[in-house]
A and B are shown apart, each in its own frame.
Chain A
């Protein structure tokens, strides 16, 4: 329609953004592994965040998480365990959800920058920096703030998720490398 402003995104970009939001939602239905002790389900959803950045890049990857979280906020039960609605953002783990946006953008940015030199190890490093270090740096202080517990206690509690996140980064790196070879979508930021 002519009264809508032109965007920098083309039809194909919008479809890819929607696709990754849907992949994130579909990953919630993968059978979650519930830790017996703390009862918080570990799911493949952070894997989806890493893949969004590493496969479709910074801007589109970040926007796909924004779109996903918008749908969660308006009340679709798309988070693991059928959670959704505004409550999840006000709860103690809300920081991780906001952190997903930053993580996907950062992973996408680094992938674009290092595109021509990308190897499994580099992709793994990128996923760890964006999907673990950066994500925890946003999510853990949020827990500490809402629960008013010291940062170190919140960090110790979150460390039980670390092994799972490292495995997810390994899988994400393998997938990012294979997609780079077989179905490249990212436009590299640097010349060869």
Chain B
């Protein structure tokens, strides 16, 4: 399964995932409390430095992942320019970029398995409320298995449609797709129950 973990091995990959997440929480709170432009600018400088340390490939990939934010950055800057609070606009835009960049940094340096371990630890107290951890793990495994199967099934349906029509399949394949998927899910549930279930 493709994940967003960076293939560029960094020293942060070896840090415990729990510690990184805790640090991220505290850093995010600090970022939202820092309400001066220079503070956010310093933070931005530090974050760019963190991205640059593992090398150019890591930096380029990290910066590209911030691209989807540009409409919001533009909106914030334009609005604050319009009401004449340029400094505040710059601060908010920087803060937005900083928060997302920092969180992405944790995602890029933590493997899926390490994240899943943290999830397991965090969910353990919920067992007292009746949460079955095995059900959660089963569900996660099922999603990871179902996703490529469903994508392939959707592709097959779209191709079958195109073999019979000159127009694109569009939304009309959603219904057969869904009924197929529900039927498959029922079979999987039966197979699981036959083997002992949850």
Q: Which residues of A contact B (CB under 8 A)?
A: 1, 4-12, 14-19, 21-23, 25-26, 29-30, 38-40, 47, 51, 55, 67-68, 70-71, 74-78, 81, 83-93, 143, 146-149, 153, 157, 171, 174-175, 178-179, 182-183, 185
**A30 to B103, Cβ gap below 8 A?**
no
Which B residues are CB-close (under 8 A) to A183?
179, 182-183
**B193 to A147, Cβ gap below 8 A?**
no
**B151 to A76, Cβ gap below 8 A?**
no
B76 at the interface (CB under 8 A from A): yes
User: With A10-B198, A75-B112, A85-B4 as given contacts, are A148 and B127 in contact (CB-CB < 8 Å)?
Assistant: no
Q: How far is the CB of B124 from chain A (nearest CB, A)?
A: 11
**A84 to B146, Cβ gap below 8 A?**
no
List B residues 46-94 near A (Cβ within 8 Å): 65, 68-72, 75-76, 79-80, 88, 92
User: With A76-B1, A171-B174 as given contacts, are A85 and B104 in contact (CB-CB < 8 Å)?
Assistant: yes
Most chain B beta-carbon neighbours within 10 Å: one of A15, A25, A47:
A15
Q: How far is the CB of A184 from chain B (nearest CB, A)?
A: 10
Alpha-carbon separation in the docked complex, A22 to B146 (Å): 6
User: With A17-B139, A55-B178, A149-B75 as given contacts, are A83 and B28 in contact (CB-CB < 8 Å)?
Assistant: no
Alpha-carbon separation in the docked complex, A90 to B106 (Å): 13
Give the contacting residue for B142; candidates A19, A147, A182; CB below 8 A: A19
Most chain A beta-carbon neighbours within 10 Å: one of B136, B147, B186:
B147
B140 at the interface (CB under 8 A from A): yes
Which B residues are CB-close (under 8 A) to A153?
75, 79
